[in-house]
Amino acid sequence: MIKKSFVMITRIKYLVGNAIILFILLFSGTAQCQNSPELMHFKFNVNNSGTTPNEANPATRAGVLNPLLASFTIGGTGQFGTGLVGSGGGGSINPQWLRNHTGSWTISFWINASNFSPNYFFSNTTGNGGFRCFFTNSTL
């Protein structure tokens, strides 16, 4: 009887311990995410007279309609619907971001590189708090 209850108590401690660890991991991850505002979220799936909507959280986003400058258009096939299309020339998107965010941040994007082989991806700071992302390939 004593041995069985010891085993049962040990199993309960093990389960409770794992539940506490899982609880801590879930809530510490949630707390970290809340400290980072969502500044920009461009889906490039709506062509609105040369602009693309910023679909980030309205309380923290950097702008509402962001101009597509130079040779970019909306069309083709993106990951979900249409996407941003370049013509081989230089182009940019004005994110209307004041570049006053001093903490760490993340950028992610999806590129449909199925029709050609890319040479490299490269990004750097511009010296004024901004950033640039470059994509070139050998077949353009």
Q: What is the reported pLDDT for 112?
A: 66
Instruction: Judge if 55 and 30 occupy the same domain.
Output: no
Instruction: Judge if 84 and 32 occupy the same domain.
Output: no
Instruction: Judge if 14 and 68 occupy the same domain.
Output: no
Instruction: Judge if 23 and 66 occupy the same domain.
Output: no
Measure Cα distances from 69 to 34, 51, 72, 84 in Å: 32, 9, 7, 12
Instruction: Judge if 71 and 120 occupy the same domain.
Output: yes
Instruction: Judge if 113 and 66 occupy the same domain.
Output: yes
The token pair that represents 119 in the structure block: 């040479």
Closest C-alpha among 75, 67, 29 to residue 49: 67
CB-hemisphere CA count at 13 Å for 133? Answer: 9
Instruction: Judge if 83 and 117 occupy the same domain.
Output: yes
Domain housing 23: 1-36
Instruction: Judge if 1 and 63 occupy the same domain.
Output: no
CB-hemisphere CA count at 13 Å for 58? Answer: 0
Per-residue pLDDT tens listing for the chain (140 residues):
444 443 333 343 334 334 444 444 444 444 444 455 677 887 877 766 677 788 888 887 777 777 776 667 777 777 777 777 766 666 677 777 776 667 776 777 776 666 555 555 555 555 555 566 656 554 43
In a domain, 42, yes or no: no
Q: What is the reported pLDDT for 125?
A: 55
Q: How far is CA 86 from the centre of its chain?
A: 20
Instruction: Judge if 83 and 132 occupy the same domain.
Output: yes
8 Å CB contact between 137 and 121 = no
Number of compact structural domains in the chain: 2
Q: What is the reported pLDDT for 28?
A: 40
